[in-house]
Amino acid sequence: MPFRYGIATMTEVPQLVARLAFEIGGQTHHGLAADLLPPKWFTKDPARGLAEEIDEMLRVIRAAVRHAQDLRAATAFDFWRELYGAQMAWAAAENLPPLLANFGTSFVERALIHAVCRAHGTSLGGAVRGGLLGAPEMSLPSRLPDTVFARHTVGLSDPITAADLAPGERVDDGLPQTLEECIRRYGLRHFKLKVDGRLERDLDRLTRIATVLRADCAAGFAFSLDGNESFRDVPSFADYFRRLRAEPALAAFWRGLLYVEQPWHRSVALSPAIGDLARAWPDRPPIIIDESDAEIGSLKTALALGYAGTSHKNCKGFFKTLLNAALLAEHGDAGRRHAILSGEDLANVGPISLVQDLAAQAVLGVTSVERNGHHYFAGLAQFPETWQRHALAQHPDLYVPAERGGWPRLDIRAGEISVRTINAAPFGVPGELDLSGLVSLPG
């Protein structure tokens, strides 16, 4: 299904799988990392071609691997800090933005964490609590959640009811397609609603969504609002949001708002004008950064400007989020209104990227996680059959065979997904995956 986010609509996208070897304790151990390569997120430039942006993502990943080959460190955390510094220095010299540069760092970091977990025969939670990664001690949940809410994305072009489907738009794969159908099939209760700043369109769409949620979410609902960097003028978002809040048909709807995810373009999102607006808007909703959380110091800057927190995505880095979590704990202890660490998703799918991201979210204590990959892709149908069998065998609580075709799909019940087997596996990925059917990239 097409997925419209910000200035792009995804209909197909490559996925990169990295298998890296590390020397740990005098022995060689392998770790995996994977992600989609989504144009128009790391650099939202409408003038650039899709292939050019994908090549640039591959460039920063290759650079991170090159930098990693020269490093030696006592712990995985120390290794990451050195890699982060080397990659950032290279990116600055190449005039590449930090968010994109750290996508490459995160690939090496994720593979390293997986390798450390495998070397010690432990899970991510066990590695963090046992000090095996060398990360600073910080307050994390003493008990990992067994389930998390699947916060279902409603993209800018997604059908809300069957009336929104034009002839020929029905996808014949046995899965629910409209928001209404998804709620009834999966019992969804948490949602992520995309808006793009066009007031009349957004008002109409939110009103229609609110009608469906009130009718079909008997146990209540909660939602985040994602502005996808649609606002380049700082005061305009305040005016826009006040007009949304003033709509009588949405009066009760706003009680379910969790937070607003980065409405401002990254060119202004961390500017002094944000602080001026925050001081003049004391009853603003909690607003978090996402795309602007590009460097280690980004969250500290954002909190000083009046933001309420940030998001975790593995593509931005797990260790960086550990540091962010410590900062947010300190921020909350100081009596601030909000200290939010959210779980977001870059359409991650598959038996590597999705489970590694969920493993990280559970360790961080994030229990409402945007999971849209399963909705826009037909489960794991696009992956090798060996991977599909691996997913069903190793994560029977997370995946079930689809009613048509038998390929694995997420098993969402009462709006939640299980992370029990993920919590027990080395960074969510148990056993071995056969990579022989994939296309190898040169260099």
Tens-digit pLDDT profile for residues 277-316 = 999 999 999 999 999 999 999 999 999 999 999 999 999 9
pLDDT tier for residue 348 given thresholds of 50, 70 and 90: confident
Residue 363 lies in a domain: yes
Q: How high is the pLDDT of residue 59? A: 97
Q: Who wins on pLDDT, 237 or 378? A: 237
Q: Which of 409, 407, 410 has the alpha carbon at shortest distance from 389?
A: 407
Q: How high is the pLDDT of residue 218? A: 93
Residue 393 lies in a domain: yes
- Give the predicted TM-score (pTM) of the model: 0.95
Residue 283 lies in a domain: yes
The count of other CB atoms within 10 Å of the CB of residue 73 is: 14
- Six-digit token string for 82: 């050195």
pLDDT at 374 over 90: no
pLDDT at 413 over 70: yes
The conformation of residue 160, written as its DSSP 8-state character, comes to S
Give the Cα separation of 171 and 428 in Å (integer).
Answer: 31
Q: Who wins on pLDDT, 290 or 43? A: 290
Q: Which of 4, 362, 332, 375 has the alpha carbon at shortest distance from 149?
A: 362
* Phi, psi of 380, deg, nearest 5: -105, 25
Q: Which of 297, 149, 155 has the alpha carbon at shortest distance from 217?
A: 149
Q: Which of 187, 189, 122 has the alpha carbon at shortest distance from 363?
A: 122
Residues 165 and 104 in one domain: no
Give the Cα separation of 289 and 320 in Å (integer).
Answer: 14
Tell me how many domains the chain contains.
2
Q: How high is the pLDDT of residue 221? A: 98
Give the Cα separation of 379 and 411 in Å (integer).
Answer: 10
Amino acid at 430: P
DSSP annotation string for 371-393: --HHHHTTTTTTS-HHHHHHHHH
Residues 66 and 162 in one domain: no
pLDDT at 268 over 80: yes
pLDDT tier for residue 12 given thresholds of 50, 70 and 90: confident
257 contact partners, CB below 8 Å, separation of at least 6? 222, 223, 224, 225, 285
Mean pLDDT of all residues belonging to the chain: 94
Residues 160 and 97 in one domain: no
pLDDT at 225 over 80: yes
Q: Who wins on pLDDT, 114 or 171? A: 114
The count of other CB atoms within 10 Å of the CB of residue 328 is: 22
What CATH number does the domain containing 9 carry?
3.30.390
pLDDT at 337 over 80: no
Buried b (16+ CB within 10 A) or exposed e, 178-198: bbbebbeebbbbbbbbbbbbe
User: Within a 13 Å sphere around the CA of 402, how many CA atoms are in the beta-carbon half?
Assistant: 20
Residue 271 lies in a domain: yes
End-to-end CA distance of the chain: 33
Handedness of CA 358, 352, 153, 231 (dihedral sign): positive
**Range with top average pLDDT, 7-11, 22-26, 133-137, 437-441:** 22-26
Q: Which of 267, 305, 312, 321 has the alpha carbon at shortest distance from 290?
A: 312
The count of other CB atoms within 10 Å of the CB of residue 280 is: 10
pLDDT at 335 over 80: no
pLDDT at 347 over 80: no
Residues 102 and 165 in one domain: no
Residue 118 burial (C-beta neighbours within 10 Å; 0-12, 13-18, 19+): buried
Residue 134 lies in a domain: no
β 309-312/222-226 pair status: unpaired
Residues 80 and 226 in one domain: no
Give the Cα separation of 173 and 176 in Å (integer).
Answer: 9
Q: What's the domain range around 107?
A: 3-122
pLDDT at 334 over 70: no
Residues 406 and 338 in one domain: yes
Q: What percent of the chain has pLDDT over 70?
A: 99
Q: Over range 157-176, report the average pLDDT.
A: 92
Residue 433 lies in a domain: no
pLDDT at 336 over 70: no
Residue 54 lies in a domain: yes
What CATH number does the domain containing 336 carry?
3.20.20.120
Q: What percent of the chain has pLDDT over 90?
A: 82
pLDDT at 58 over 70: yes
Q: How high is the pLDDT of residue 45? A: 83
Residues 70 and 188 in one domain: no
68 contact partners, CB below 8 Å, separation of at least 6? 20, 79, 83, 108
- CA 234, 313, 126, 327: dihedral to nearest 10 degrees? -10
Place of tokens 């977990």: 117
pLDDT tier for residue 228 given thresholds of 50, 70 and 90: confident
Which stretches of 346-427 are DSSP H helices? 353-364, 373-376, 385-394, 420-424
